[in-house]
Chains A and B, each alone.
Chain A
């Protein structure tokens, strides 16, 4: 048996304990970015399909979520930087090989678009708030601006469809590009995070929807996405299982290791299987409060990001 024991190894007091340099803000951002990508994708898609009236929550009401979640997510990202005064350096260059550069530029475009989208539906969907704030009464130019945005909404929608997909995929590719962290370094993470983001987006729309028909449609969509996500998770674990030693060790964290309960209990069971069954029961015709599966999906998505960030940084090459 060849085993390598590190008798002294590295003892660098300020480096080794802090190699886990990505903390909760990154996990929170990955969740919020995915959520925003999901909502924006459905909003733009259903608008392009001409179904804004049938699906008001997806296209109009939920539009308030992406600008907020993206703003909070961006603040979280900057909070986790250690040299934050130089953040502008992201926008002096475009590095085609760096997923983070892609993400920075996509966010730079998507975030303003999400604000414009929410703004164009603000007066229609949030009439009560507007009657209190009276923003349009006080700032006259907003009326003209609103008309301009509403007239060009279709172009925003066309732009948002691919951009939201890039945003959703990038949250996963960001991690999978790091070949030093075997848990992250697999090609399935991009599609998996995209599916999870779309699924949490659909769940958020279900939460905000008041129409039974819309909730049913998004229940179906969410069910489909959950099934895809489960399949992708199985593929991910199969990939580790068939992989090299470092990937086997990475898999052990999720299967039979310290993250097993969190992953299979809270993400797979409570975050995917239980809501899938509940949504199925509801589709058959039984009465299930839709808030339960939707909340489970959203919380499961959040826990999933935290597990991947925490566990991924424990995995490394041993030599």
Chain B
């Protein structure tokens, strides 16, 4: 079992519905969020391209946040999901400093918080909140270990990239390009 998210940048319109769904589902405090939209314009005029990406924790295989955590509050559970146990977290910020994606933040209550791939929903057999609400259906979620899953098939048949692969983290959010 290895959960992964695949996001089609060609279908994403940057509506931020995933962001609002996550904030609602996970009761994220006002002004914070666990996922966000990045609009990246590349190239030089007139040959410019716009890419819209819904970004979040990449649930890396080689997760620097888990490696640097001094208490073990940051840990990896079955399916490769990186989680934080709030009452083991001392708020030292080592994981925030070590994350190349800036995916973590300090919750106003002190502990560090981030995307969980909606672990509580997966246990009930539901999709992560962001995936379930996407109006353009540009987000896919599933098991990479199963070669017949939708995510495995998409990565087999389409061109994709990951973010900052040079950071050596082996991220598990894939962007179709």
The answer to whether A and B interact is yes
What is the CB-to-nearest-CB distance from B20 to chain A, in angstroms, rounded to a whole number? 13
Q: Mark B13-40, 1 if CB is under 8 A from A, else 0.
A: 0000000000000000101110011111
Query: Of B32, B41, B67, B169, which one neighbours A12 at CB under 8 angstroms?
Result: B32
Query: Of A9, A83, A178, which one neighbours B64 at CB under 8 angstroms?
Result: A178
- List residues 157-202 of chain A with CB under 8 A from any CB of chain B: 177-181
- CB closest chain-A residue, reference B166: A244
Q: Using Cβ atoms and an 8 Å threshold, which residues of chain B touch A313?
A: 97
Of B2-10, B84-92, B118-126, the one touching chain A: B84-92
Asked whether B42 lies within 8 Å of A100 as measured between CB atoms, the reply is no
Q: In the complex, which of the residues A100, A244, A246 has the most CB atoms of chain B within 10 Å of its own CB atom?
A: A100
Asked whether A14 lies within 8 Å of B70 as measured between CB atoms, the reply is no
Asked whether A179 lies within 8 Å of B100 as measured between CB atoms, the reply is yes
**Please, how many angstroms separate the alpha-carbon atoms of A181 and B77 in the complex?**
26
Interface size for B (C-beta < 8 A) is 49
Asked whether B91 lies within 8 Å of A81 as measured between CB atoms, the reply is yes
Asked whether B32 lies within 8 Å of A14 as measured between CB atoms, the reply is yes
A-side binding surface: helix, strand, loop or mixed? loop
**Please, how many angstroms separate the alpha-carbon atoms of A82 and B104 in the complex?**
14
Asked whether B167 lies within 8 Å of A179 as measured between CB atoms, the reply is yes
B160 close to chain A: CB less than 8 A = no
- CB closest chain-B residue, reference A180: B100
What is the CB-to-nearest-CB distance from A117 to chain B, in angstroms, rounded to a whole number? 26
Asked whether A81 lies within 8 Å of B106 as measured between CB atoms, the reply is no
Asked whether A89 lies within 8 Å of B97 as measured between CB atoms, the reply is no
**Please, how many angstroms separate the alpha-carbon atoms of A288 and B40 in the complex?**
59
What is the CB-to-nearest-CB distance from A218 to chain B, in angstroms, rounded to a whole number? 35
The answer to whether residues A180 and B64 also contact, given A3-B44, A21-B97 and a CB cut-off of 8 A, is yes
What is the CB-to-nearest-CB distance from B30 to chain A, in angstroms, rounded to a whole number? 8
Q: Using Cβ atoms and an 8 Å threshold, which residues of chain A touch B163?
A: 319
The answer to whether residues A22 and B73 also contact, given A6-B39, A15-B105 and a CB cut-off of 8 A, is no
Asked whether A7 lies within 8 Å of B39 as measured between CB atoms, the reply is yes
What is the CB-to-nearest-CB distance from B21 to chain A, in angstroms, rounded to a whole number? 16
Q: Using Cβ atoms and an 8 Å threshold, which residues of chain B touch A244?
A: 166
A141 close to chain B: CB less than 8 A = no
A87 close to chain B: CB less than 8 A = yes
B135 close to chain A: CB less than 8 A = no
A24 close to chain B: CB less than 8 A = no
Q: Using Cβ atoms and an 8 Å threshold, which residues of chain A touch B71?
A: 86, 89-90, 92-93, 95, 101
B93 close to chain A: CB less than 8 A = yes
The answer to whether residues A86 and B67 also contact, given A4-B42, A9-B39, A177-B98 and a CB cut-off of 8 A, is no
- CB closest chain-A residue, reference B32: A14
**Please, how many angstroms separate the alpha-carbon atoms of A6 and B91 in the complex?**
30
Q: Mark B63-86, 1 if CB is under 8 A from A, else 0.
A: 010011111110000000000000
Asked whether A2 lies within 8 Å of B166 as measured between CB atoms, the reply is no
B46 close to chain A: CB less than 8 A = no
What is the CB-to-nearest-CB distance from B57 to chain A, in angstroms, rounded to a whole number? 13
19 inter-chain pairs at a CB distance below 8 angstroms, sorted by A residue, are A3-B42, A6-B39, A6-B40, A6-B41, A10-B55, A12-B32, A13-B31, A22-B93, A80-B92, A81-B91, A86-B111, A89-B71, A90-B71, A98-B70, A99-B68, A100-B68, A180-B97, A180-B100, A317-B100
Question: Could you list which residues of chain A lie within 8 angstroms of chain B, going by C-beta atoms?
Answer: 1-16, 18-19, 21-22, 80-84, 86-87, 89-90, 92-93, 95, 97-101, 103-104, 177-181, 244, 246, 313, 316-317, 319
Additional pairs, 10, CB under 8 Å, beyond known A18-B105, A84-B90: A13-B31, A82-B106, A83-B89, A83-B110, A89-B87, A100-B92, A178-B98, A179-B64, A179-B167, A179-B168
